[in-house]
A and B are shown apart, each in its own frame.
Chain A
Amino acid sequence: MRMNKEASTEARALDATKKVKNDIILISALLLLVLIAALALFLFRVTGDTVTVGVDGKLFGEYSLSEDRVVEIKNGNGYNILVIEDGKAYVREASCPDGICSSHRPIGHSGESIICLPNKVVVEVHTQSQSTPDIIA
Chain B
Amino acid sequence: MKNKRSNTKKIALVGLAASLALLLSYVEFLLPPLYAAVPGIKMGLPNVVIIYVLYCIDVKYAALVSATRLILSSILFGNTMTLAYSVAGAVLSLLIMAILKRTDKLSAVGVSVAGGVAHNLGQILVAILLLDTPQIAFYMLVLTVTGTVSGIFVGMSGTLLIKRIPSDKIFRLR
Q: Which residues of A contact B (CB under 8 A)?
A: 16, 19-20, 22-23, 26-27, 30-31, 33-34, 37-38, 41, 54, 57, 98-100, 103-104, 111, 113, 115, 117, 120, 122, 124
Known: A27-B113, A98-B39, A115-B133. 5 other contacts (CB 8 A): A27-B110, A27-B152, A31-B145, A38-B141, A113-B133
> Judging by beta carbons under 8 Å apart, are B37 and A27 in contact?
no
- List A contacts of B39 (CB < 8 A): 98, 100, 117
Q: Return chain A residues, CB-CB under 8 Å to B133.
A: 54, 57, 113, 115, 122
Stretch from B13-21, B51-59, B61-69, B101-109 forming part of the interface with A:
B101-109
Q: How far is the CB of A35 from chain B (nearest CB, A)?
A: 9
Contact present for A30 and B113 (CB under 8 Å): yes
7 pairs of residues in contact across A and B, judged by CB atoms under 8 Å: A19-B106, A34-B145, A37-B141, A57-B131, A99-B36, A100-B37, A115-B131
Closest beta carbon of chain A to B135's beta carbon, Å: 4
Contact yes or no, B110 A103, CB < 8 A: no
Encoded as 1 (CB less than 8 Å from any A CB) or 0, chain B from 102 to 142 comes to 00011101100110010000000001000111011010010
Chain B residue at smallest Cβ distance from A20: B107
Which residues of B are at the interface with A, using a C-beta cutoff of 8 A? 36-39, 105-107, 109-110, 113-114, 117, 127, 131-133, 135-136, 138, 141, 144-145, 148, 152
Chain B residues in 8 Å Cβ range of A115: 131, 133, 135-136
Q: Tell me the smallest distance from the CB of B111 to a CB of chain A, in Å.
A: 9
In the complex, the answer to whether A23 meets B141 with C-beta atoms within 8 Å is no
Q: Do A27 and B148 have beta carbons less than 8 Å apart?
A: yes
CA distance A133 to B117 in the complex (A): 31
CB contact under 8 A between A30 and B117, given known A38-B141, A98-B39, A117-B131: yes
> Across the interface, which residues of B come within 8 angstroms of A16, CB to CB?
107
Alpha-carbon distance A37/B106, docked complex (angstroms): 25
Query: A residues within 8 A CB of B117?
Result: 30
What's the Cα separation between A99 and B36 when bound, in Å?
8
Interchain CA distance A104-B37 in the complex, whole Å? 6
What is the minimal beta-carbon distance from B101 to any residue of chain A, in angstroms? 11
A38 to B136, CA, bound (A): 15
Residue of A nearest to B151 (CB): A27
Q: In the complex, what residues of B have CB within 8 A of residue A19's CB?
A: 105-107, 110
The answer for the CA separation of A58 and B92 in the assembled complex, in Å, is: 29
Which residues of A have CB within 8 Å of B109?
Answer: 20, 23
Q: Which residue of B lies closest to A113 (CB)?
A: B135
Nearest B-chain residue to A57, judged by Cβ: B132
Taking A19-B106, A34-B145, A113-B135 as contacts, is the C-beta distance between A26 and B114 under 8 angstroms?
A: yes
- Check if B135 sits within 8 Å of A23, measured CB to CB: no
> Do B144 and A30 have beta carbons less than 8 Å apart?
yes
Bound: A31/B142 CA distance, A: 10
Q: How many Å lie between the Cα of A57 and that of B127 in the bound state?
A: 12
